């Protein structure tokens, strides 16, 4: 089957990126949008656009019935989910099938097997993939004391992790027994809020861990390829900030071993399409352990595209149309080349505890030049809403060596200008200047350990104390929830946009400074 029209069930930079590949393939595109995104770049990039919800909130993109209705109304043949939102929801994939609309992603059964972390660990172990020592099942309700005893037997430090999600939500590192109870309660509460499932499980914490993931791709004939690795250890609170490929810690032999076991894990669940197997690599022994599988395209896929010369979205579409993968594993190895680095550009203020910085972008100037790629969902004049993740784009570069790629990455960041909102560009430049990063000798604790070198010292004029940050955050959250309740009730807000959460926070800060 050849798709004529694809609905992109996402927003921002990934929707723009998918639309561009569709245009090259001669496929029409349909955007969906909330009221907050009515004038967004992804809406204007696509050939058509359908409104999917009245509240200007994140939930507008999560109502399966509305997304399916938009696909039917626009007569789309297929839906590309991007990442986040509905991309790893097996119920959405089944709803697409019931509506006779192709879902560009893995079968729902594979999502279910790999979406729940303890189940994924079991499947990986059965396939012969090494896993981090830990629980085979989530902690049963009322068995917190038994879980604490288990942690004592395994040995601290221990990781508490959400069973039903990823992205660092519901995850806590526990260094000693005295911290266990509070960390467990916090992780359960955060997991419930993020995923609607408060179950967690325990894993042994790895010494000097490096977070390395393998990009895999499978077709319906049972062929599965690995497309190299990505080093994702530059993280803040378990959220990736900078990624690179290849990893400085991965040898050709280790790369092949990780690639082979990643394909085993994927084939064990009948996987089809693009996916990523994530591993922890012990910084001392170089042993590697399966963490989880992301059953979708990853945010950091551009650096894999740089080093392979592939368009992974095109492959996703072609495989969903029934095509076989055009490359062999030998082709992959023959085409892997150079070094690529990606940095995530966020509308946030690192000096204010990384608080989101929504607002109107007065001017946006992105770097250009040889081997520089900008995947952005905004432009000059774009509004960055407060309802969504504050990432506004990714800046990726390629060069023949790591040293040259780091230099190019620094040059590209220095040429990136965003006016009207606060971004993390300066923070990203300082990361690249860290001696540990330049040497390639770092682990997932890099940003936490280098905090004093990356962020201004607390207490300087114009900065907030932790108590002040808390007060402003609390006021912002209160106002945000109030605005959304009013919107859901269908009544206009009595205060209007002037008293939005972020305006409230701004006024509080101005009062603090005596202005």
Residues 133-204: name the CATH superfamily. Answer: ATP-grasp fold, A domain (3.30.1490.20)
Secondary structure, 3-state, 98-131:
HCCCEECCCCHHHHHHHHCHHHHHHHHHHCCCCE
- Considering only residues 287 and 340, tell me which one the structure prediction assigns the higher pLDDT: 340
CATH of 5-104, one of 2.40.50.140, 3.90.340.10, 3.90.700.10, 3.40.50.20: 3.40.50.20
Residues 207-337: name the CATH superfamily. Answer: ATP-grasp fold, B domain (3.30.470.20)
**Domains 133-204 and 342-451 fall in the same CATH topology:** no
Q: For the segment 289-299, what is each residue's pLDDT rounded down to a tens digit?
A: 998 899 999 99
Q: State the Cα torsion 255-257-261-264 to the nearest 10°.
A: 100
Residue 470 has pLDDT above 60, yes or no: no
Identify which of 46-60, 171-185, 497-511 has the greatest average pLDDT.
171-185
Which has the closest alpha carbon to 27: 5, 1, 43, 49? 5
Q: What percent of the chain lies above the pLDDT cut of 70?
A: 87
Told to judge if 296 belongs to the known catalytic residues of this protein, a careful annotator would answer yes
- Considering only residues 128 and 452, tell me which one the structure prediction assigns the higher pLDDT: 452
C-alpha 438/C-alpha 482 separation (Å) is 46
Identify the pLDDT of residue 485.
Answer: 54
- Considering only residues 67 and 283, tell me which one the structure prediction assigns the higher pLDDT: 67
Average pLDDT of the residues in 343-363:
96
Please report, for the chain, the start and end positions of each structural domain, with discontinuous segments joined by +: 5-104, 133-204, 207-337, 342-451, 466-512
Q: What percent of the chain lies above the pLDDT cut of 90?
A: 74
Q: For the segment 127-182, what is each residue's pLDDT rounded down to a tens digit?
A: 888 988 888 889 998 999 999 999 999 889 999 999 887 767 889 999 999 999 99
Q: State the Cα torsion 488-493-497-501 to the nearest 10°.
A: -60
Identify the pLDDT of residue 473.
Answer: 57
342-451 fold: D-amino Acid Aminotransferase; Chain A, domain 1 (3.30.470)
Q: Which of 296, 344, 352, 409 is catalytic?
A: 296
Residue 375 has pLDDT above 90, yes or no: yes
Which has the closest alpha carbon to 435: 449, 423, 424? 449
Average pLDDT of the residues in 393-406:
98
Identify the pLDDT of residue 469.
Answer: 53
Hunting for tokens 């590309």 — which residue is that? 80
Over the chain, what is the mean pLDDT?
A: 89
Identify the pLDDT of residue 506.
Answer: 46
């Amino acid at each position: 089957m050849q798709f004529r029209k694809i609905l992109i069930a996402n927003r921002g930079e990934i929707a723009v990126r998918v639309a561009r590949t569709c245009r090259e393939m001669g496929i029409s595109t349909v955007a969906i949008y909330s009221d907050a995104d009515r004038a967004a770049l992804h809406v204007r990039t696509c050939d058509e656009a359908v409104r999917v919800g009245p509240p200007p909130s994140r939930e507008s993109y999560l109502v399966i019935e509305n997304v399916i209705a938009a696909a039917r109304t626009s007569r789309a043949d297929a839906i590309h989910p991007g990442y986040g939102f509905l991309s790893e929801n097996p119920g959405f994939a089944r709803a697409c099938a019931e509506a006779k609309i192709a879902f560009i992603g893995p079968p729902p059964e594979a999502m279910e097997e790999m979406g729940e972390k303890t189940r994924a660990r079991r499947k990986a172990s059965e396939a012969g993939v090494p896993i981090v020592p830990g629980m085979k099942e989530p902690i049963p309700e009322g068995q917190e004391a038994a879980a604490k005893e288990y942690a004592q037997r395994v040995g601290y430090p221990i990781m508490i992790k959400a069973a039903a999600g990823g992205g660092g939500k519901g995850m806590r590192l526990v260094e000693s027994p005295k911290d266990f109870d509070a960390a467990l309660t916090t992780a359960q509460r955060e997991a419930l809020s993020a995923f609607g499932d408060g179950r967690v499980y325990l894993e042994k914490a790895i010494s000097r861990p490096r977070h390395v993931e393998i990009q895999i791709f499978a077709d319906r004939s049972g062929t599965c390829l690995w497309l190299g690795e990505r080093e994702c250890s530059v993280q803040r609170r378990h959220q990736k900030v900078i990624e690179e490929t290849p990893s400085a810690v991965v040898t050709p032999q280790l790369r092949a071993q990780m690639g082979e076991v990643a394909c085993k894990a994927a084939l064990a669940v009948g996987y089809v399409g693009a996916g990523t197997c994530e591993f922890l690599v012990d910084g001392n022994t170089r042993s590697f352990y399966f963490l989880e599988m992301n059953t979708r395209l990853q945010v950091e896929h551009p650096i894999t595209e740089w080093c392979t010369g592939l368009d992974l979205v095109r492959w996703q579409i072609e495989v969903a149309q029934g095509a076989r993968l055009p490359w062999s594993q030998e082709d992959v190895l023959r085409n892997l080349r150079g070094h690529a680095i990606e940095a995530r550009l966020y509308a946030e203020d690192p000096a204010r505890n990384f608080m989101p910085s929504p607002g109107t972008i007065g001017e946006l100037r992105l770097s250009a030049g040889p081997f520089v790629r900008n995947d952005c969902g905004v432009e000059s004049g774009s509004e960055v809403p407060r309802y969504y993740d504050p990432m506004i784009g990714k800046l990726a570069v390629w060069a023949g060596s790591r040293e040259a790629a780091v230099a190019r990455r620094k040059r590209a960041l220095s040429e990136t200008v965003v006016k009207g909102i606060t971004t993390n560009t300066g923070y990203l430049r300082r990361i690249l200047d860290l001696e540990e990063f330049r040497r390639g000798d770092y682990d997932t604790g890099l940003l936490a350990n280098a905090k004093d070198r990356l962020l201004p010292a607390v207490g300087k004029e114009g900065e907030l104390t932790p108590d002040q940050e808390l007060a402003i955050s609390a006021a912002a959250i209160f106002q945000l929830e109030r605005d959304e309740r009013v919107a859901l009730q269908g009544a206009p807000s009595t205060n209007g946009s002037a008293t939005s959460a972020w305006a409230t926070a701004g006024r509080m800060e101005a009062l603090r400074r005596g202005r």
